[in-house]
């Protein structure tokens, strides 16, 4: 192990949080029981907010950024983990209250770690990351609720060209659902078709305020946007349908009425990925191992050096990224 290594640290600049590159040593890390040599992290919308300071994600500073990591255990005081174990961590407060994955080494609590399924490489684990694992939680929630049926149900995915949306489209299409992708970028249509999208709607049709009850269209939905988009999706969901909501790229408000819930029996399923119990995490990752098309995953993934994070953070906040961005923390 090197004496020092590069990490991305959120610290205060003129009273505002901002990401910066720093040289750290192992002694700078938290005194948690497992030391992981990180190979890859990834870029989430939350990471963009944290790095740029556009959102006050880091609740204390200085703090190593990065909501995900995949790597190999090198030291452990826990009987549950041994050197050489391939592990992944999603959430658990990383980049909010705990140091994250934008670093060559990180110390974590044993209960945060999950063994990576043999079917995934470390790079693929971060191609999935919190975004893909969240998409799996959304699809599982819809299936568990019992409102969608392969071969017959139409499901809409908002923010479809983003990380969660891309993997949701791929999963749903691979499982036999008819998928409509909502995006404001026509240039992504061919990309989304390769992932299995059958139809498209322009996001402006969902961002403009609509009626409390609209034409019934969707048996289910995966919403990554929130705000008026989520309100419109709820108003367009069929009787007894359900919407899995996991994001707020369009805003944290929900300008909806109770009408879809009390007149059509629509269900709003809230999806949290940060503090999800380990049993649900393992189920979601095994579901991805079983159902995620590896060719789709490769098509939606780009690998970027950690040194490019300033530009990447701006791009994801501007809605200019596509699919999944893996961060190589060694570069």
Encode pLDDT of 98-109 as tens digits: 999 999 999 999
User: 270, 285, 316 — which closes off a domain?
Assistant: 270
Verify that 179 and 220 share a domain, yes or no: yes
Residue 124 domain flag: no
- The pLDDT of residue 143 is 96
Query: What is the rounded average pLDDT of the residues 273-302?
Result: 96
55, with CB counted inside 10 A (0-12, 13-18, 19+), is middle
Does residue 83 lie within any of the structural domains? yes
Residue 107 to residue 260: CA distance in whole angstroms:
46
Last residue in a domain, options 230, 253, 270:
270
Q: Round to whole Å and give the CA distance between 310 and 96.
A: 19
Q: Number of helices (H) and strands (E), helices first, in the chain?
A: 10, 16
283 within domain boundaries = no
| 134 and 43 both lie in a single domain | no
Q: What share of the chain is helix, strand, coil (3-state, %, to 5)?
A: 35, 30, 35
Share of the chain above pLDDT 70, in %: 99
Does residue 62 register a pLDDT over 80?
A: yes
Separation CA 158–CA 163 (nearest Å)? 11
- Total structural domains within the chain: 2
Q: Does a structural domain hold residue 281? A: no
Same domain, 134 and 266: yes
Task: Judge if 150 and 257 occupy the same domain.
Answer: yes
Last residue of a domain, which of 253, 270, 287? 270
134 shares a domain with 31: no
Q: Do 134 and 253 fall into the same domain?
A: yes
The answer to whether residues 211 and 306 belong to one domain is no
Q: Is residue 277 part of a domain?
A: no
Residue 230 lies in a domain: yes
pLDDT digits (tens, 9 = 90+) for 108-163: 999 999 999 999 999 999 999 999 999 999 999 999 999 999 988 999 999 999 99
Are 93 and 182 members of one domain?
Answer: no
pLDDT at 194 over 80: yes
Q: Is 153 a member of any domain?
A: yes
* Share above pLDDT 90 across residues of the chain, in percent, rounded to a whole number: 95
Cis peptide before 134 (omega within 30 of 0): no
Average pLDDT, the chain: 96
Residue 248 lies in a domain: yes
Residue 55 is predicted with a pLDDT of 86
Same domain, 139 and 266: yes
**Residue range of the domain that includes 307:** 4-116+296-328
Distance CA 75, CA 160 (A): 40
pLDDT confidence bin for 196, thresholds 50/70/90: very high
Q: Over the stretch 212-268, which tens digit does the pLDDT of each residue have?
A: 999 999 999 999 999 999 999 999 999 999 999 999 989 999 999 999 999 999 999
Burial bucket for residue 11 (CB in 10 Å: 0-12, 13-18, 19+): middle
How would residue 56 be classed by pLDDT, with cut points 50, 70 and 90?
confident
CA 44, distance to chain mean position in Å, is: 6
Pair (142, 264) in one structural domain = yes
Shared-domain flag, residues 207 and 242:
yes
Is the pLDDT reported for residue 319 higher than 90?
no
In this structure, what CATH number is given to the domain that contains residue 155?
3.40.50.720
* CATH code assigned at 79: 3.90.180.10
99 and 150 in one domain?
A: no
Tell me the C-alpha distance between 323 and 313, whole Å. 14
Kindly tell me if the per-residue pLDDT of 1 is higher than 80. Answer: no
Task: Tell me which residue of 77, 127, 92, 57 sits closest to 304, measured CA to CA.
Answer: 127
For 173, the token pair is 């299409």
Q: Look at residue 15 in the predicted model and tell me its pLDDT.
A: 86
**Across 58-73, average pLDDT:** 96
Chain centroid to Cα 210, Å, comes to 28
């Amino acid at each position: 192990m090197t004496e020092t290594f590069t990490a991305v640290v959120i610290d205060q600049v003129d009273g505002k949080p901002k990401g910066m590159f720093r040289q750290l040593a192992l002694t700078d890390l938290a005194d948690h029981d497992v030391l992981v040599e990180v190979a890859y992290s990834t870029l989430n919308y939350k990471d963009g907010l944290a790095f740029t300071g556009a959102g006050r994600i880091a609740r204390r500073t200085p703090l190593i950024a990065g909501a995900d990591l995949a790597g190999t255990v090198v030291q452990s005081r826990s009987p549950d983990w041994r050197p050489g174990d391939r592990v992944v961590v999603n959430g658990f407060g990383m980049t909010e209250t705990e140091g994250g994955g934008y670093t060559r080494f990180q110390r974590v609590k044993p209960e945060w770690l999950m063994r990576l399924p043999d079917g995934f490489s470390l790079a693929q684990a971060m191609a999935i990351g919190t975004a893909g694992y969240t998409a799996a939680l959304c699809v599982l929630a819809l299936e568990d609720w019992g409102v969608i049926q392969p071969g017959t149900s139409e499901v809409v995915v908002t923010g479809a060209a983003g990380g969660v949306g891309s993997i949701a489209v791929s999963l749903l299409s691979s499982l036999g659902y008819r998928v409509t992708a909502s995006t404001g970028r026509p240039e992504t249509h061919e990309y989304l078709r390769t992932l299995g999208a059958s139809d498209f709607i322009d996001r402006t049709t969902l961002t403009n305020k609509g009626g409390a009850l609209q034409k019934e269209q969707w048996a289910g939905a995966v919403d990554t946007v929130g705000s008026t988009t989520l309100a419109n999706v709820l108003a367009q969901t069929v009787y007894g349908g359900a919407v899995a909501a996991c994001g707020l790229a369009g805003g944290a408000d929900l300008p909806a009425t109770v009408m879809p819930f009390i007149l059509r029996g629509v269900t709003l399923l809230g999806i949290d990925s940060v503090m999800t119990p380990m049993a649900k995490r393992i189920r979601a990752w095994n579901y991805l191992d079983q159902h995620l098309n590896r060719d789709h995953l490769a098509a939606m993934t780009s690998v970027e050096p950690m040194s490019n994070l300033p530009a990447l953070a701006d791009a994801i906040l501007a809605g200019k990224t596509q699919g999944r961005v893996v961060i190589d923390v060694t570069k």
